[in-house]
Structure 1
């Protein structure tokens, strides 16, 4: 008799349960909007880039408004917008420069003024629809916002079904569309949305096409406050990769028909979704909204003062079990990323090994006395397909075991090999990898992935050799404290990085302190654990193996103990927070 397969308990759709009203489908939403415009009212529907404007426009046609103003008709010409944004989009395949532009800069000033005047002089009802609708509508209008998470927007980019603000680039490459959004459109839309939180009366979730959901301001704000006053999880996003593996299919219960899953972004609030569960129905919104609205409570005062409304810690999985090598790569230094891309800080990171099979390895740091000139020439020759790059000739090949921790400050060459499940712990800027060698393979689109040999050579720290790597970057683990049924270890990160990581082993309750910083944790060993409040300020929160969860800074103290099937057994968490002292 075949043994029954154990069911995964990984929660792919974590949600904050809240009270409130939710309206599902366009018929129900129209029933809310109809009385608002029948009494000569103005309905303004602003939106995030990537929302299907045509779906909303068609759904509201049956309300027969006296006047409809589409904001896209008020934008500057595409040529003007391309010229205006050229400095920030740049000619580079992947990288642009952080824009200082605001949404109002995209509009023709005369057309904007004329539209406002038409509304002021209009006696009947009206609908204003599109990105920037709030710039035209008077303060007395009912303002609705159609929001969208960045990951859904990226899926729509890949389908060629959306375009950027004022630019019909839907048929451009994904890399080109993504670059424009990363350095321009997303930043512009986030800044604009942040200015509207007090004005927005209703929020629309259009993540699922033709299945819209509407909530009012009170329900939205209740969800934000419930989220930031307890431990919570964002919605993990899984994606295939040229080197992707099979581990997450089993552990996270993913579609077995998909060839592989390489990435799981389980804590990137700028891009992940957040779910509210209202009357048994989920309402999806970008998790960045919590950061924008409750930065001090979530991040902590010292972290907010240092990073503003940026969530500075990222957790994600890299799955190469049954897969291949990641690209041989390096991340830019802080000076380089500021000078060339206008970013505030760089992508320092680490590899925490959640699982490893036989012969698993990583490349990390350079060998002693590397010939820099020859290495540079070999990388250039590999890019020109003259000969494959021999990574082992120049980089340290280090065996990998489960629960190893490899530290990767910017400037360190690195690459995860096959048969490894890496929990990548890093600072948030997640677009700044200089791939120098990609093993001669093609990307998922059947084309070579962009290589950045010259940029990589500019930022490599050549002093990160074997001696340095083994002393400072490999398993720099030290005991910190212990008690009845628990112990705490410091596992990093490197002194050049602002993230601190601590590992706790426990078979009984262990108390944690946020230390005025948001805490991000993952249950790296054990089936289940429960997070509990010391002062009963939040309901107990259950986490499962491999799940990443967030503890808002203002909660102060909390405890974690084994739960359910793990009761009485040893569990382990890895915790990251912002370090204020070395």
Structure 2
């Protein structure tokens, strides 16, 4: 039986009576608040992806409103929105340009004014304005925000239930719909919801169909503050892929009927959920809400000053054990991602090998003496289907074994070979992978996987050849401190990467300090460990093998010890933070 916890939950103290489960309890709570007034405007603003039909069937009729308005009826028509976004969406299936739009730009001013006039003319009873952008119609005497995690949005898109907001594009391929959400919708609605969450009276969770939950805004904000004072985990999600393997299925107790699992996003707050428990009620929110509302306490002053309300460190798993090679790829240089896509930092990364089969390799850097023109010509011919890419001629293959660490600064060609279980430690702009060669495969959707050679050839650093990679990127391990029962090793990353990593081997307790920066760790060796506070500042927190956990900057000092099934074992953690 796996010990890996797939639904980690943060237990919130002091607000057990501030959350409700089920439509009946939610209706009773809202009615209690709105019917105390002779006239009240209830605004239910929504993240795109919330099932408005469920609100219209289960919630709104029970509130006995005099007037009910759907804010989406003030949205501009589909063609107008498409023309406005054309520059951001581009013609590419995968890559767009990051949007700086505000939500009001998607709204027809005349329709909005007419709706506002309807609200103002209704001088008695209850007025309800609901849907994405409802707070643009009226700020609300009572404000409810209905949020939606991004992973659930993607599932609804994949099932065909959901199109992009205002697009009517359910039949469009998933890559294009994801692109529109990533580059436009999520940016626009995060800007819109952040000030609303700071003043909302309630948050409504409708992630699970017909199993809604409601929490007061005060309790939600207190919960986020509590979370920044203790270790926590976000909710991992798992996804199959054409190259996916079998290791996670076996070790994380996943669906045995699934063909494979390629990815696990174990710490990607932009897309993961955060589970908060208030007494008997569990609330699921995007973990990005913690970043948006508590950036300084979570990230630390220096990290917040540099990145704003963005979580810059990503931990995820890539499973090719029993699978295939990843795509041969490269990530953009900083200036390229800034100029082409509007991102302000790039995807530097590393592969930490959790497990490996005997013949596993990592492809990293070009072979010394490689002619750029010859390799690019070979890649172009492979892209046209004339021949397979001659990887053995142009690309280094390094044997990969358990606990190896390969550093991959942007511009370095690379991929993990079959037979590896990789803990990928990287910067967060994870969508920016330029595939150079995909081994002639089709994607899970049966379509050719996009190859972006035209981008990739502009960012490959040809100086990263065999000698350079050996000297700078393969197992750059240095012991920096040790004591009785523990040893601390620096394992990277490269000087061009802003993430620092340290590995601790220990059989005795090890004291750490955040140093004013958010720390992200994974238990890479040993069954179980406990994280506690030497001063008793937070309740002890137990982690299991391969679980990623976050230590907010405000925690300061913390201690990690062998615990439970890990007692008496040699344990190890890998820790990442942003260099000062």
TM-score range for the pair, normalised by the shorter chain length: over 0.9
Asked whether the equivalents of residues 64 and 126 of structure 2 are also in contact (C-alpha less than 8 Å), the reply is no
Counterpart of 2:496 in 1: which secondary structure? coil
Tell me the equivalent position of 1:58: 57
Tell me the equivalent position of 2:78: 78
Counterpart of 1:574 in 2: which secondary structure? strand
Map 1:529-540; keep pairs closer than 5 Å: 529-540=529-540
Write the distance in 1 (CA, Å) between the matches of 2:221 and 2:66. 32
Map 1:7-406; keep pairs closer than 5 Å: 7-18=1-12, 19-20=15-16, 21-38=18-35, 39-59=38-58, 60-123=60-123, 124-139=125-140, 141-406=141-406
Question: RMSD over aligned Cα, in angstroms?
Answer: 1.1
Write the distance in 2 (CA, Å) between the matches of 1:228 and 1:62. 37
Write the distance in 2 (CA, Å) between the matches of 1:497 and 1:198. 34
Asked whether the equivalents of residues 532 and 560 of structure 1 are also in contact (C-alpha less than 8 Å), the reply is yes
Write the distance in 1 (CA, Å) between the matches of 2:169 and 2:279. 39
Runs (4 or more) in structure 1 with deviation over 4 Å come to none
Map 1:424-573; keep pairs closer than 5 Å: 424-573=424-573
Write the distance in 2 (CA, Å) between the matches of 1:198 and 1:269. 19
Deviation per CA, 1:173-217, whole angstroms, max 9, x where unpaired?
Answer: 111111111111000111111111232111111111121111111
Counterpart of 1:282 in 2: which secondary structure? strand
Counterpart of 1:41 in 2: which secondary structure? strand
Asked whether the equivalents of residues 37 and 65 of structure 1 are also in contact (C-alpha less than 8 Å), the reply is no
Tell me the equivalent position of 1:4: none
Asked whether the equivalents of residues 98 and 343 of structure 2 are also in contact (C-alpha less than 8 Å), the reply is yes
How far residue 555 of structure 1 moved from its aligned partner, in angstroms, is: 1.2
Write the distance in 2 (CA, Å) between the matches of 1:570 and 1:281. 38
Counterpart of 1:324 in 2: which secondary structure? coil
Write the distance in 2 (CA, Å) between the matches of 1:167 and 1:40. 36
Asked whether the equivalents of residues 531 and 540 of structure 1 are also in contact (C-alpha less than 8 Å), the reply is yes
Write the distance in 1 (CA, Å) between the matches of 2:180 and 2:142. 31
Write the distance in 2 (CA, Å) between the matches of 1:199 and 1:455. 43
How far residue 344 of structure 1 moved from its aligned partner, in angstroms, is: 0.5
How far residue 389 of structure 1 moved from its aligned partner, in angstroms, is: 0.8
Write the distance in 2 (CA, Å) between the matches of 1:36 and 1:502. 52
Write the distance in 2 (CA, Å) between the matches of 1:390 and 1:147. 48
Tell me which moved more, 119-128 or 180-189.
Answer: 119-128
Write the distance in 2 (CA, Å) between the matches of 1:523 and 1:112. 52
Q: Which structure 1 residue ranges, 5 or more long, are not aligned? A: 1-6
Write the distance in 2 (CA, Å) between the matches of 1:540 and 1:194. 31
Asked whether the equivalents of residues 512 and 558 of structure 1 are also in contact (C-alpha less than 8 Å), the reply is yes
How far residue 127 of structure 1 moved from its aligned partner, in angstroms, is: 0.9
How far residue 393 of structure 1 moved from its aligned partner, in angstroms, is: 1.3
Asked whether the equivalents of residues 318 and 424 of structure 2 are also in contact (C-alpha less than 8 Å), the reply is yes
Asked whether the equivalents of residues 157 and 170 of structure 1 are also in contact (C-alpha less than 8 Å), the reply is yes
Tell me which moved more, 225-234 or 37-46.
Answer: 37-46
How far residue 160 of structure 1 moved from its aligned partner, in angstroms, is: 1.7
How far residue 43 of structure 1 moved from its aligned partner, in angstroms, is: 1.2
Deviation per CA, 1:392-440, whole angstroms, max 9, x where unpaired?
Answer: 2111011111000000000000010111100000000010000111111
How far residue 359 of structure 1 moved from its aligned partner, in angstroms, is: 0.5
Counterpart of 1:83 in 2: which secondary structure? helix
Deviation per CA, 1:135-156, whole angstroms, max 9, x where unpaired?
Answer: 11244x2110111111111111
How far residue 323 of structure 1 moved from its aligned partner, in angstroms, is: 0.4
How far residue 561 of structure 1 moved from its aligned partner, in angstroms, is: 0.9
Asked whether the equivalents of residues 228 and 555 of structure 2 are also in contact (C-alpha less than 8 Å), the reply is no
Write the distance in 2 (CA, Å) between the matches of 1:163 and 1:40. 36
TM-score, structure 1 normalization? 0.97
How far residue 279 of structure 1 moved from its aligned partner, in angstroms, is: 2.4
How far residue 61 of structure 1 moved from its aligned partner, in angstroms, is: 2.3
Asked whether the equivalents of residues 493 and 501 of structure 1 are also in contact (C-alpha less than 8 Å), the reply is yes
Deviation per CA, 1:475-520, whole angstroms, max 9, x where unpaired?
Answer: 0100100011101000000000000000000000111111111000
Deviation per CA, 1:284-332, whole angstroms, max 9, x where unpaired?
Answer: 1000111111111110100000000110000000000100000000000
Asked whether the equivalents of residues 436 and 451 of structure 1 are also in contact (C-alpha less than 8 Å), the reply is yes
Q: Which structure 2 residue ranges, 5 or more long, are not aligned? A: none
Asked whether the equivalents of residues 36 and 42 of structure 1 are also in contact (C-alpha less than 8 Å), the reply is no
TM-score, structure 2 normalization? 0.97
Write the distance in 2 (CA, Å) between the matches of 1:234 and 1:487. 28
Tell me which moved more, 51-60 or 174-183.
Answer: 51-60
Seen in structure 2, the aligned counterparts of structure 1 residues 138 and 226 have a Cα distance that, compared at 3 Å, is: closer
Deviation per CA, 1:113-169, whole angstroms, max 9, x where unpaired?
Answer: 221122112123211011011111244x21101111111111111112112232212
How far residue 556 of structure 1 moved from its aligned partner, in angstroms, is: 1.2
